[in-house]
Structure 1
Amino acid sequence: MSTKTPEEKKYNKWIVILSIVIPVAVAALFGIKIPNVEPLSFLPPIYASTNGLTAIFLIAAFIAIKKRDYVLHEWLMKFCIGLSVAFLVMYVAYHMTSDSTVFGGEGVIKYIYYFILVTHIILSIAIIPLVLITYVRALSKRFNKHKKIARITFPLWLYVAVTGVIVYIMISPYYA
């Protein structure tokens, strides 16, 4: 069993807290509507684009690490984290000012949409601690451990980013 570095121990509390607080806060804020505020209906294409950019930069970071360009990889990963935070802020702001949009498709496409949506939501919750742990292991310079968890984190984060765009494209015809 490996021991954690002091840096990892310090951040572990924050990883646990953020991994619980973020999904709970998002769920709670979903039920809160800010009265007398103009709906932020312009945000969905912006935050969907943010997901798309995250996917592109995740792939670029993957290519950078394969080329052993560690500086570029680090910069790209920090940028992806920043994009994910920006997405989260816009997503919450939109849902606090706007009613949720109901998917209007029927038949098989409805089941495909809900499968993608449900897996996207579940994995977007699971990805929070994975990204944070992966990042802290890099900060702690435990690159063997970082690489091991990154092999799990990367495809899941990429899936969340790509399916975020797909969900937007599928539901966009039904926005009011």
Structure 2
Amino acid sequence: MSNLAKERKYKKIITVLSIVIPLAVAALFGVNLKSLGFDVEPLTFLPPIYASINGLTAALLIAAVLAIKKGNKKLHQQLNTIAIGCSLIFLLLYIGYHMTSDSTKFGGEGVIKYVYYFILFSHIVLSVIVIPFVLTTYMRAQLGNFPQHKKIAKITFPLWLYVAVTGVIVYLMISPYYA
């Protein structure tokens, strides 16, 4: 199978994942197992863990860029693969928390409230938008299409880094209001 045929095949998978993942997260976000009658303990210990995973993802992304700038393609690939794994773990923990725990309301007032909601909103929107960028960037590297990989990576990196960093910021801003 040619690289072009492989890329077409992967683009279909990326399109499906880019639609299914946000829809599944939205659907599962609205499911609270306790309200459905399940006897589950709230996973209230998870927010600092998944915020830390976001921080680790940001560090991995920066390290990956530094690695490729030094010409270390293997380390660059390994770091990005780990960053994708971290993002998946984050997603599973995030869903687990929200399926077992009540949402926490931000308690700040005044300007800080607007800052928080701006960061939260942009984080959520960009976390959906970044999915096809990450998957396409990774796929192009795996197929050896490095000119196209490099071109889209210039967009993917700042988007993904913003999502990872703002995930930590959102946690730090809301953490005083956890019950």
Where on the TM-score scale, by shorter chain, does this alignment land: which range? over 0.9
Supply the distance in 2 between the matched residues of 1:71 and 1:30 (Cα, whole angstroms). 37
Supply the distance in 1 between the matched residues of 2:6 and 2:141 (Cα, whole angstroms). 11
For residue 86 of structure 1, report the CA deviation from its aligned partner: 0.2
**Gap runs ≥5 in structure 2:** none
Contact 1:58 1:158 in 2 (8 A): yes
1:122-168 C-alpha deviation (Å, 9 max, x unpaired):
00000100000001110111000000000000000000000000000
Supply the distance in 2 between the matched residues of 1:58 and 1:160 (Cα, whole angstroms). 11
Match of 1:128 in 2: 131
**TM-score under structure 2 normalisation?**
0.95
For residue 5 of structure 1, report the CA deviation from its aligned partner: 1.3
Supply the distance in 2 between the matched residues of 1:174 and 1:105 (Cα, whole angstroms). 9
Match of 2:9 in 1: 10
Match of 1:165 in 2: 168
Contact 1:33 1:97 in 2 (8 A): yes
Moved over 6 A (4+): none
Supply the distance in 1 between the matched residues of 2:152 and 2:121 (Cα, whole angstroms). 23
Instruction: Give aligned-pair identity as a percent.
Output: 67
| Equivalent pairs, count | 174
Supply the distance in 1 between the matched residues of 2:6 and 2:55 (Cα, whole angstroms). 32
Q: CA RMSD in A?
A: 1.1
**Gap runs ≥5 in structure 1:** none
Q: Which segment drifts farther, 29-38 or 103-112?
A: 29-38
Report the 3-state secondary structure (helix = DSSP H, G, I; strand = E; otherwise coil) of the residue aligned with 1:19: helix
Contact 2:33 2:99 in 1 (8 A): yes
Q: Which of 79, 83, 88 is equivalent to 2:82?
A: 79
Match of 2:95 in 1: 92
**Amino acid paired to 1:23:** P
For residue 7 of structure 1, report the CA deviation from its aligned partner: 1.6
Contact 2:3 2:143 in 1 (8 A): no
For residue 113 of structure 1, report the CA deviation from its aligned partner: 0.2
**Amino acid paired to 1:159:** Y
